[in-house]
Amino acid sequence: MKEPVVEIKKCGLGATLQDTGRMGWRRFGIPLSGAMDAHAAGWANRLVGNQPNAPVLELLLQGTQLVMLQDAWIAITGADAGCNLETWRTVRVTRDQVIRFPRNRSGVWIYVAIDGGFEGPRFLGSASVYPRAGLGSPFANGSLLNRSSHGQFAIQAGVAGRFTPREERRDYDSTEPLRLWRGPQWDLFPEKERQKFFAQRWTISPESDRVGYRLAGTALALDSTQIISEPMRVGSVQIPQGGLPIVIMRDGPPVGGYAKLGILDPDDLSRLTQYRPGLEVEFRPVEP
C-alpha cells in the first residue's frame, strides 16, 4: 500500500495535477489539458530523473503551502512565488519539512516534481485534471499526494547538484515578441487589419485562464469573424465578434466557429502562459 508523500496544507489560489496532456481525444470534444507551461514542467521532471509525461503538481500564482510526509528529491520550476527552497534545481527534502509559496513576484504557473512522479487517477490515459468535464478535481486544503514509485534518483558521487542551465530559466517579465504562424483564415483578414495586429502591444486581460488568454487593445475590424466550426489547435489566435483576440490554451475547446488569424509557435505558447494579467505582449509573423 502506497503512503502519501505530500500534504497540501494550503492550496493557495489553485493546485492541480497535470502531465503532458490527454492525447488523441480532441476529435471527441475532449481538450488536450496538461501543464500550461510545458517548458517549466518538463524541466521539473528532468531534474529529478522522471519520464517527461510524469504528473507534476501545478500551482497558480501564490499562497500554496506543502508539508513533506516522506524524505524525497524534488524540483520546483516556473513562476517565482518567493519559495523558501531553491528553485530550478534538485533539492533533497525531509519529512515534516514545509514548503511555502507566499508571494508572487513574476510568472503565473509553478511546477513541483518529485522523484518517481506523483500518482493520480487517470482518465482517458492522462492524470491531467480538467474539472469542467469531471476529469479529476482540483486539490483542496488537506489533500494528500502519493507518488507512483519510490524514485531511484540520486546525485552521483562527485556531483555538487543538478540545476537548470541559466539560458533555460526564462524571464517571465520580459515580453519579447512571440512568433505567430499563419492561421487557417489568415486571408480573411485585410492586410490593414493584419498590420494592426502586429503593430500594437496587446495587454493580457484578467479574464484569462486555462481555457484561453484574452488580449485587450485596439480591436480588429472584419465584416464577419464567424465561420463553419472546425478543429482548433492549442495556441490558435481566434478573433471573435468584437475584434479582440483570444489565444486558445490547454483546456480550450477542440473546435471553434470564429476566424483564426494565426497559431502561436508551440515554444512561445509556454512563454505566453507565464505572462501575468496587465503585461503587454506583441507578436511577429513567421513567414512560410
Structural domain count of the chain: 2
Write out pLDDT tens, residues 197-240.
999 999 999 999 999 999 999 999 887 767 888 888 999 999 99
Span 10-23, average pLDDT: 96
201 φ, ψ to 5°?
-100, 120
Q: How far apart are CA 15 and CA 142, in angstroms?
A: 12
Do 137 and 49 belong together in one domain?
yes
Last residue of a domain, one of 135, 150, 168: 168
Nearest to 264 by CA among 204, 208, 180: 180
Q: How far apart are CA 281 and CA 263, in angstroms?
A: 15
Report yes or no on 1 lying in a domain: no
Do 99 and 66 belong together in one domain?
yes
Last residue of a domain, one of 147, 168, 189: 168
Do 21 and 143 belong together in one domain?
yes
Write out pLDDT tens, residues 246-267.
999 999 999 888 899 999 999 9
By residue range, what is the domain housing residue 76? 6-168
pLDDT at position 229: 83
Do 60 and 119 belong together in one domain?
yes
Of 50-64, 110-124, 150-164, the range with the lowest mean pLDDT is 150-164
Span 102-119, average pLDDT: 96
Last residue of a domain, one of 168, 190, 207: 168
pLDDT at position 218: 96
Q: Which helix (H) or strand (E) holds 41?
A: helix 38-47
Beta carbons within 10 angstroms of residue 151's beta carbon: 18
Span 38-49, average pLDDT: 96
pLDDT at position 28: 86
Beta carbons within 10 angstroms of residue 164's beta carbon: 18
**How sure is the predictor about 273, in pLDDT bands with cuts at 50, 70 and 90?**
very high
**How sure is the predictor about 2, in pLDDT bands with cuts at 50, 70 and 90?**
confident
Do 23 and 66 belong together in one domain?
yes
